Amino acid sequence: MNLHHLKVFHAVALTGNFSHAGQRLFLSQPAVSVQVRRLEQALGVPLVEVYGRQVHLTEAGTRLKEYADQILRLERDAEEAMAELQDPARGLIRVGASTTPGTYLLPRLIAAFRRRYPAMVVALAIGNTRTITGRLLTNELDLGIVGEKPPAEDCLVYEPWLTDQMAIISPPDHRLAVAGIASPEEVLAEPLILRETGSSTREVLVSRLRTRGLDASPALELSNTEAVKQAVAAGLGLAVVSLLTVQTEIRTGRLAVLNVPDLCLERQLHLAWHPGKRLSQAGNAWLAFLRESRGGLLEDDVSQKAIWS
């Protein structure tokens, strides 16, 4: 079995498309198709089926992808181990983070980490929780920082890191903000602006409401926290966000936090990684740094708004 052919098949399995796999590997679509066919010929089984533009894995392809995940993970680990022998002080850490920690926490942490380890490089990818966990499972990322642990088992290791306080926000002149207190039912009577499916922010609100027998239906769905804040400020509805994301808007009076005492919206942020992942020295240094930083993180301007576990 040719390792290069396996890499090409793995890219196709991840993207579900020959052209997209080619873009990731800097290969033409015909070259990708040919190399997958050669792998099928070498193994003697069909690996993919094509319907229109979409590529689907056969039963053999699904099983091979599971092995490919492990083989390619070990290949990268071996390369990193050899690189460390040349210069253990250097290294690249591929970090993934969900939107809130990735945008509002990690830039400061990465800056502090680089001051301590100037030869180490952190490559940060930001996406919703579902996207980041998916990339951890396929070894595209070394470590992740995500929202609440998903209820379904996905084989990742989750370590509690910080407790993030979330809240319902509105324009400052909204009737519920002026009233000073609101019930969950009153909140649901207003148009809701929610993040996309797969966002931990959205899942926290949905799960907390579900425990009260209530359901949240979005009037507007957005995939970016900054867009959510702009929509709320424009009067399009209410939204749930982390208090980390609205510090400036609260101070300047552009947005208000509703007092909804019957709705607890705390969530746990987690460090996450694949149990089979062998962390490099740089990766272990980053993990240790994150654990060390949790106690007094950002005490200067958000400690009163976020509860650090």
pLDDT at position 212: 86
Residue of 172, 169, 114 lying closest to 305 (CA atoms): 169
3-class SS letters over the chain: CCHHHHHHHHHHHHHCCHHHHHHHHCCCHHHHHHHHHHHHHHHCCCCEEEECCEEEECHHHHHHHHHHHHHHHHHHHHHHHHHHHHCCCCEEEEEEECHHHHHHCHHHHHHHHHHHCCCEEEEEEECCHHHHHHHHHCCCCCEEEECCCCCCCCCCEEEEEEEEEEEEEECCCCHHHHHCCCCHHHHHCCCEEEECCCCHHHHHHHHHHHCCCCCCCCCEEECCHHHHHHHHHCCCCEEEEEHHHCHHHHHHCCCEECCCCCCCCEEEEEEEECCCCCCCHHHHHHHHHHHHHCCCCCCCCCCCCCCCC
Tell me: the pLDDT tens digits for 192-243?
A: 999 988 888 888 898 888 888 888 888 999 988 999 999 999 999 999 999 9
Q: Please state whether beta strands 220-222 and 192-195 pair in parallel, antiparallel, or not at all (unpaired).
A: parallel
CATH number attached to the domain at 3-82: 1.10.10.10
Mean pLDDT in residue range 74-79 = 83
pLDDT at position 84: 67
Same fold, 3-82 and 164-266: no
CATH number attached to the domain at 164-266: 3.40.190.10
Query: CATH classification of 84-162+268-293, choosing from 3.40.50.10360, 3.40.50.150, 3.40.50.2300, 3.40.190.10?
Result: 3.40.190.10
Tell me: the pLDDT tens digits for 265-292?
A: 888 899 999 988 888 888 899 999 999 9
Write down the domain spans for the chain.
3-82, 84-162+268-293, 164-266
The more confident residue out of 9 and 266 is 9
